[in-house]
Amino acid sequence: MQRGLRTSVAIICVSSLLGQFLCVPTTYAASEAKVIKDQADDLNKDITDKRSRVKEIQNLIGSYQDKIKSQENQQLSLSNQILLLDNRIKEKELRLDVAKRQIEILNLEIQALGSNITRQEERINLQKDMISDLVRRLRQADDVDTLQIFLSRPSLSAYFDRVEELKRLEGDLGQALERVKADKATLESDKQAREAKKTDLEQQKKDLKEEAARLDMERNSKISLLAETKDQQAEFNRMVDELRQQKETTADEIAQLETTLKDKLAAIDEALAKGETLLLWPVPVRKITTRFHDPTYPFINLFQHPGVDLRADVGTPIRAAAGGYVAWTKQGKMYGNYIMLIHPGNFATVYGHMTRFNCKPGTYVERGDIIGFTGGMPGMPGAGLSTGPHLHFEVRQDGIPVDPMGFLPEAIETDTIQGPGDQS
C-alpha cells in the first residue's frame, strides 16, 4: 500500500514535466512550420514546373514522330531522306532533354525526402530524450517523502483529484509513445521511398547516356549519307540501285561460289557443316548496338538491317567466325569495305565497314584468323553507310541473311552503358 502511494505521488510530482513533453511535438512543429512550408512549397513548385515542361516536350516528341511516319511514306529521294534524318535527330535531342529533366525532378524529390527524413529524425530524437528524462525523474521522485507530499495538498479531495489526473497522464504518455512509433514508421517509409528514387535516378542516368548514344548514331547517319552521296541526288540514286542489285545478286553469287568450292568446302570445318558447333565472335563483344532487323535502325527507310553491329574502336582486328574461303573483298555504298567468307553447310558470313583487308579473294582462312580491321567512322574511306565506329556482321544461309544470334555463343557485353561518341 505504502509502495503504491509513493509511486502515485511521485508521478504527480512530475506531471508538469509530462505535460510539457506532450506539448513538445506541437510546439516544435509550430516553430518549424513556416520554414518547413516554405521549403516544401519551393521544392514542389520546382517539381511541378519541371513536370509541366517534360509533358510539353513529350508532346513535341509526339509531333516529330508523326512527321517521321509521314516522311517515311514520301518518295524516296536524298532530300526526303535527309529531312527524315533531321526529324529523327530532333526527336532524339528532345528525348535527351526529357531524360535530363527527369533526372532533375528525381534529384528534387530526393532532396525533399531527405529534408523530411531529417526533420522526422530530429523530432523522434527529441521525443526519445524527453521520455528518457521523464523516466529518470519519475525514478528520482519515487524517493520523495510521501507524507510531505500528502500534507502539501490543500485538501484530501485535491489530493485524489491529482490521483485521477495521474490516470489521464498515464494515458497521454501511452499516446506519446504511440506517436513516436508512428513517426518511426513514417520515417522508415520515407527512407524506403528515397532509396527507390535513388534507384530510379541511376536508371535515368543510364537512359540519358543511351539517348545521347542514339543521338550520335542519328547524327553520324546523316554525315555518312552525305559523304557517300556527295549531297547529290544522282549519287543517291546510284546508291539505292546498288543496294537493290546487291540484294538480288548476292544469293546467286554465293550459290555459284559454293558449287565451285564444293569439294574444298566438304573437306574443312566438318563440325560446322553438321551444325555441331557455334560461330566465333569476330570481335570482342563490348556492345551489340544494332540487332537483326532492328526497328530503330536509322536507315530502315532504305533497307532492313541484315545483321548485328558490334561496337569496336577503329583498327580493331577482325577474326574469321569459322574456317572458309574468301569469296570477295569489295567496297560499296552500303557496307563500305567488306568481306564475305563462304563456309560449309551453305553458310556465309559478311564483315562490313572495314579500314583495310588482311586476306585475298580465293584464299582459305582458319577460324580465328585475322581477316581485316574495323572502321565505320562516318566520312572515313571505306566507312559506307555507318552510324559510328563498329563492325557490321552478317550470317547468310542459302544466300539469305538470318539472325546471327542463333549461331553465336551467348553474348556477355562488357560495355554495360552506352556513351556518346562510342557506338555503332
Q: Are residues 132 and 101 in the same domain?
A: yes
Q: Where among 172, 197, 227 does a domain terminate?
A: 227
The C-alpha cell at 360 is: 585475298
Q: Are residues 386 and 275 in the same domain?
A: yes
How buried is 143 (Cβ within 10 angstroms: 0-12 exposed, 13-18 middle, 19+ buried)?
exposed
Q: Looking at per-residue confidence, does 336 or 13 come out higher? A: 336
Q: Are residues 211 and 244 in the same domain?
A: no
Q: Are residues 203 and 335 in the same domain?
A: no
pTM for the whole thing? 0.66
CATH number at residue 375: 2.70.70.10
User: Is residue 420 a part of any domain in this protein?
Assistant: no
Euclidean distance between the first and final Cα of the chain, in Å? 88
Q: Are residues 10 and 25 in the same domain?
A: yes
Residues 45-64: tens digit of each pLDDT: 888 888 888 888 888 888 88
Q: Is residue 274 pLDDT above 50, yes or no?
A: yes
Which pLDDT does position 199 carry in this prediction?
85
Cβ atoms 334, 385 nearer than 8 A: yes
Q: Are residues 295 and 402 in the same domain?
A: yes
pLDDT band, very low/low/confident/very high, at 179 (cuts 50, 70, 90): confident
Which pLDDT does position 1 carry in this prediction?
45
Full domain range(s) for residue 194: 2-227
User: Is residue 246 a part of any domain in this protein?
Assistant: yes
Q: What is the mean pLDDT of residues 8-17?
A: 49
Q: Are residues 49 and 173 in the same domain?
A: yes
Non-local (6+) Cβ contacts of 371 within 8 A are 318, 319, 320, 326, 339, 341, 351, 357, 358, 359, 365
Q: Where among 168, 201, 227 does a domain terminate?
A: 227
CA torsion through residues 389, 390, 391, 392, sign: negative
User: Is residue 416 a part of any domain in this protein?
Assistant: no
Total domain count, the chain = 2
Cα(369)–Cα(359) distance, rounded to whole angstroms?
A: 9
Q: Are residues 158 and 189 in the same domain?
A: yes
Return the closest-CA partner of residue 214 out of 416, 58, 387. Answer: 387
User: Is residue 273 a part of any domain in this protein?
Assistant: yes
Look up residue 405 and give its DSSP letter.
Answer: G
User: Is residue 423 a part of any domain in this protein?
Assistant: no
User: Is residue 413 a part of any domain in this protein?
Assistant: no
User: Is residue 104 a part of any domain in this protein?
Assistant: yes
Q: Are residues 197 and 249 in the same domain?
A: no
Q: Are residues 192 and 126 in the same domain?
A: yes
Residues 161-173: tens digit of each pLDDT: 655 665 666 666 6
Residues 66-125: tens digit of each pLDDT: 888 887 777 788 888 888 888 888 888 888 888 888 888 888 888 888 877 777 777 778
User: Is residue 419 a part of any domain in this protein?
Assistant: no
Which pLDDT does position 291 carry in this prediction?
93
Please give the C-alpha separations between residue 1 and each of 14, 78, 285, 304, 360, in angstroms, as whole numbers: 21, 103, 84, 95, 110
Q: What percent of the chain has pLDDT over 70?
A: 73
Q: Are residues 98 and 60 in the same domain?
A: yes
Q: Are residues 218 and 195 in the same domain?
A: yes
